Amino acid sequence: MKWYNVIRTNMKILSTFFFGLFIMSLCTAQKYSPIDDSLIVTLESKLQNDWDVKIIKDTLQIESKNYIWIDFYNSAGAPMDDPEFNKFTDDYLQKNGKKTKMKLLFILQDKWDSIKIKNVITENKKIRKAADSLIYKYKLSHVKRTFRYGEELIWHATKDEENRFEKYKIEKEGLLKKVKELPVYYSQKYSLFVCFRTWNYSESNYFYMLPMIYPKSEGVKIGNLESILSSILKNNP
């Protein structure tokens, strides 16, 4: 049965080898890129007590060391003494909030130069001007318009005006989608674009959804984080 033992031994060796390759592939997939940017290194040093700073592929990840419980309060149209607000006690958040770590993600692009920024700003102005002029194309400049929570509305309009307004909004929305986002910050080598914040209900116009965080001491760290970001990273290249 020597041949059987040889085969079994070889099978064990092969199994161990391929299992090792599998583990290596997993480790490689999770491997963080070295931080080779002097300003991000400084940022990491300033935040090291409360936050972990990592670069994963083309993303800068800033994640809190501690967990929080978070829920969101809808403040849209709420009165000053809204009883709904008062329900967000520490006990309520621990029972009903989402347990998570606070996370801020930036997409990293090669650093934009001043020429590229100027060109994007100029093009964005043209797009917004074209979008604003649509109100005349659809003959709606005389109609009373307001904005509520980021949504454009009209008042006391006829049925025909309402129909034209819907077409106007569709075309306007299509145009505004062409507006290019500008970097929020600049580091030594990168332009940074925010793509996610745990404490934002959405990156869209949901500013009235207020984060309610337990413990409050962790929520305070968000303001400190944003202050440090502004003091270290640049607002222009």
Closest CA to 191 of 102, 104, 117: 117
Domain ranges of the chain: 1-31, 38-112+183-232, 114-176
Q: Model pTM? A: 0.80
Give tens-digit pLDDT for 139-176.
Answer: 999 999 998 878 899 999 999 999 999 999 999 999 99
Give tens-digit pLDDT for 38-94.
Answer: 999 999 999 999 999 999 999 999 999 999 999 999 998 888 889 999 999 999 999
Distance CA 50, CA 207 (A): 26
Percent of the chain with pLDDT over 70: 85
CA distances from 3 to 6, 7, 12, 90 (A): 5, 6, 14, 68
